[in-house]
Amino acid sequence: MSNPCPCCQPDILPAARRRGGGRSLARKTADSVAGAITDVLQNEETAARPGLLQRLDPRVKLLTLVLFAVTVSFVHSVWVLLGLVGLTMLLAAVSRVGVASFARKVWASAALLALLIALPSALSYFTPGQAVLSVGPVTLTEPGLMGVATLVTRVAAAAGFALLVIWTMRWSDLLHALSAMRLPDVVVATLAMTQKQILTLLRTVEQIHLARESRTLGRGTNRENRAWVTERMAFVVRKSMKTADDVYDAMLARGFTGAMPSLTHLRLRPRDWVWAAASVALCAAVLYADRIVGPR
Amino acid sequence: MSAAFVLERVGYEYRSGAPTLTAIDLVIDGGQHVAIVGANGTGKSTLLKMLDGLVFPTSGTVTAFGAPLSEDALEDPAFRREFRARVGFVFQEADVQLFCSDALDELAFGPLQLGLPREEVERRVHQVAGQLRVEKLLDRPPYTLSGGEKKRVAIASVLTMQPHVLLLDEPTNALDPRSQVWLLDVLEEWKLEGRTVVMATHDLSAAAESADRIVVLSEDHTIVADGTPETVLAQRDLLLSVNLIHEHTHRHASTAHRHAHAHGPGQDPNLTHGH
Amino acid sequence: MPDIVAMHIPDGYLGPQTYVVMWMVMVPIWVIAARKVKRTLKAKQIPLLALGAAFAFVIMMFNVPVIGGSTGHAVGATLIAIILGPWAAVIAVSIALVIQAGLFGDGGITAIAANCFNMAVVIPFVGYYLYRLICGDAPSSSRRVISSGVAAYVAIVVGAICAGFEFGIQPHIAHAAGGQALYAPYKLSVAVPAMALEHLLFFGVVEAIVTMGVVAALARTEPELLQMMPAAKPLRWLWAVVGVLILLTPIGVLAPGTAWGEWGSDQIQSRLGYVPSGFDKLGGLWKAAMPDYTTPGVSNTMLGYLIAAVVGVALCVGIAWGAGALLARRRNNDGADPAGTVPPANASG
């Protein structure tokens, strides 16, 4: 026999070890992929908690949160923007999604990035104007700093509302909401299937990278690693196309006619109307306040 | 019992010329439980897909319920609707089959495609969900389900179409022992209900337990045996030659021990060894 | 989720004047793309697009080693356009971006249309047509690989420039009285070169590496995946487009001043008050054959411009073509060209 009987061989895989001094390429990707998968599973969990936003009809929730995000983009005053940031924190607290992790996600990534990108723009070279701080040849201007502050608070507020959408709404509910809002069935069906396939592919990609990690001793040259990475990507492409064929067969086998009707029905309740009215009023008030307080 | 499927001189070749099936003659009667067994690569899955009109032979003919099953025949919407309702296919990987956003939509997909009214669809969904005990899973997205749960939802999604014939591709693959036992129970129920079941598998023990007829495919892509489980499984040399079982030697203390065994979940009662 | 792609615009950087316009631009494009895709892919469009979007998403997550210890991420939109065709790529990449924003919280909600325009429209179309142009009618696999790399590189730089443009116009169109920026703070003269350079020097290279690597791997094992799109009518109309663009180049003559960064010593002198010594030394070294885009001997500036444009385009295309042909010949001599000539017709599912 050419192959030894696998059931009679021991099955031991060495545990993937963390290397000292920087992660290997495979480890980096495996970690970020694992992080992404965990994020999605976590969303399901936070979306099931008994908080304020979770109890709302998905259409109303989506529309009002998008309304807030749009309002954020019209506000000019840093102070009003800070107020909106506060609102996102309040909503996060009331929806029991964990204010600490919410704040961390908003400030430690989105806002921090904005700060890093925008800070140089406070220099007089980029934004000329009244000087505020001078250190040697470097001068920070007042309009420059205000611009940075505006951007950072705006980004924080916008990221906050977007995060609230994701953390308080299950993906399937989001799709039902989009479908109820007359988005074509084919689009909704494709979104549903894509999300599912992404998760499956992510798991595969994670396994691929962990397997490589557990078998590799050295770092490998850049050329070798590049070849390996592009080969894995080609594998993902091949697998995807094969899966598309299989899924198509499965759809045909269940009598797929080309249309994608759905069974669930969404209903609006009094609390949805209350919330919608309150949101619209709040946004109007915010814009009015901005007119008065904000820079023109 | 009238014939459900008749395959005459059926062959299938890939475009590159590599054969997958060669000169298959097979008749499956209504109400039968058939297991098509063969090592990997013998063409079992392709044969099963041909029975469901997902793949069409490059030579020979396939007839289903007295009418020819061809690409042209399935173009007719009325025939297609009736055929799809009558024949259900459970794929090897449940993941391939679960493409809706939650299990409820999954179970409703088939009946909705058939154009049934909503109340009827809901009735069927809840009835089947109760039968397979997946009611609690209905509002969950498929990626949060375990392997066994996914399989149950996949089978449920086929049963809501109330098929007379069930085609299963490697059903016991990737199932934990408890789920396998459950599956064999379900197959028993279907036998009692008079449904036709055709199962493609390399798991000889599952085949032996549930099927009343075993068809063996060789690595030359032809049928080499066709009969009751007892008769087929007794032909050890034949099974060896088609790579469904292999000889394996291990030692007990100072004695070397040679016996034949099969791979696949579960013990095969017919293939125990003696000293 | 780590910051995946350098071109991704989060919420807050673009004002409503910009993002609303992008939504108005994208909605008709999506509708047209959906119609085209439905016509060509038919019932199979759902699984094909879903899987296309899925691998688009997943490919963005790979760390690709570039040089030294640095790694980058690719967008892969040109690759998808090569495999699925540009219209399907519009939908697939859009879906991947929507899921990135809506499920993983990467990239903004209001900015979705702008991101889709840059990455799901500009890159696939520029990449696809450049690929087809350089490939010609019956390309060998090595020709495909080279053209895919060039196409991917150019496409992502163009996409990045579009993103840079969207960033850069913010301070021009929306600022408070004191000059304070309300959205993205860098002007066009900073944003566009920054985005362009970043992609010319780094992310474009990553993109080319990834696209060429995957196309090469697929050409080896499943060449039919690269031929899923039926061989379209000859791209002669593309030459017409290039021709029109050439004719339009003299518009540059109308723009006053000199393009940013393209100053001669005299302009540096007037701007800075002096000319850096290195600039002075090297400035006169290369005596261009066609200085300042004029044709020596032709006094009419317009005509000179046109001739220079034609010569320039001819040189670029010629070099690309020649490189492809040379490499193809070398590969054939080595006998390492398993895909050989393109077999006819598209593979069915």
What is the per-residue pLDDT across B45-99, written as a single tens digit (0 to 9) for each? 889 999 998 888 888 889 998 889 988 888 888 888 899 999 999 998 888 888 8
Contact partners for chain C, using 3 or more CB pairs closer than 8 A, are A
CB contact under 8 A, B157 and A175: no
One domain, residues A79 and A98: yes
Classify residue A2: in a domain, yes or no: no
Contacts of B255 (CB under 8 A, 6+ apart): B275
One domain, residues A106 and A192: no
> Is A97 a residue whose pLDDT tops 90?
no
pLDDT band at C270 (very low <50, low <70, confident <90, very high): low
Q: Which domain range does residue A226 map to?
A: 24-37+170-249+256-261
Contacts of B117 (CB under 8 A, 6+ apart): none
CA distance C264 to chain A (A): 22
| Of the candidates C63, C95, C65, C104, the residue with the CA atom closest to the CA atom of residue C77 | C95
Say yes or no: A238 contacts chain C, CB-CB below 8 A. Answer: yes
> For the domain B3-271, what is the CATH code?
3.40.50.300
Tens-digit pLDDT profile for residues C99-152: 988 888 776 889 999 999 999 999 999 999 999 888 877 778 888 899 999 999
Give pLDDT, residue C174: 79
One domain, residues A135 and A156: yes
| Of the candidates C101, C82, C95, the residue with the CA atom closest to the CA atom of residue C33 | C95
* HEC sequence for chain A: CCCCCHHHCCCCCCCCCCCCCCCCHHHHHHHHHHHHHHHHHHHHHHCCCCCCHHHCCHHHHHHHHHHHHHHHHHCCCHHHHHHHHHHHHHHHHHCCCCHHHHHHHHHHHHHHHHHHHHHHHHECCCCCCCEEEEECCEEEEHHHHHHHHHHHHHHHHHHHHHHHHHHHCCHHHHHHHHHHCCCCHHHHHHHHHHHHHHHHHHHHHHHHHHHHHHHCCCCCCHHHHHHHHHHHHHHHHHHHHHHHHHHHHHHHHCCCCCCCCCCCCCCCCHHHHHHHHHHHHHHHHHHHHHHHHCCC
pLDDT band at C300 (very low <50, low <70, confident <90, very high): low
Mean pLDDT in residue range A31-49 = 84
CB contact under 8 A, A32 and C102: no
Residue C285 DSSP code: T
One domain, residues A161 and A176: no
Where among A169, A194, A219 does a domain terminate? Answer: A169
Length of chain C: 349
Provide the number of structural domains found in chain A.
2
Global confidence as pTM: 0.76
Mean pLDDT in residue range A193-212 = 86
CB contact under 8 A, C185 and A118: yes
Say yes or no: B233 contacts chain A, CB-CB below 8 A. Answer: no
Contact A91, A164 (CB under 8 A): yes
Contact partners for chain B, using 3 or more CB pairs closer than 8 A, are A
* Cross-strand bridge partners of residue B215: B36, B226
Tens-digit pLDDT profile for residues A4-23: 443 332 333 333 444 444 67
Mean pLDDT of chain C: 76
**Right CATH number for C16-232 from 3.40.50.150, 3.40.50.1820, 3.40.50.300, 1.10.1760.20?**
1.10.1760.20
The domain segmentation of chain B, as residue ranges, is 3-271
CB contacts, 8 Å: A254 with chain B:
84, 109-110, 113, 157-158, 161
One domain, residues A145 and A174: no
- Cα–Cα distance, B108 to B115 (Å, whole number): 11
Mean pLDDT in residue range B239-260 = 71
One domain, residues A116 and A97: yes
CB contact under 8 A, C180 and A244: no
One domain, residues A234 and A185: yes
CA distance C15 to chain A (A): 6
* Cross-strand bridge partners of residue B36: B200, B215
CB contacts, 8 Å: A39 with chain B:
none
One domain, residues A199 and A209: yes
pLDDT band at C235 (very low <50, low <70, confident <90, very high): low
pLDDT band at C277 (very low <50, low <70, confident <90, very high): low
Mean pLDDT in residue range B160-182 = 88
Enumerate the CATH 1.10.1760.20 domain ranges in chain C, comma separated: 16-232
One domain, residues A236 and A93: no
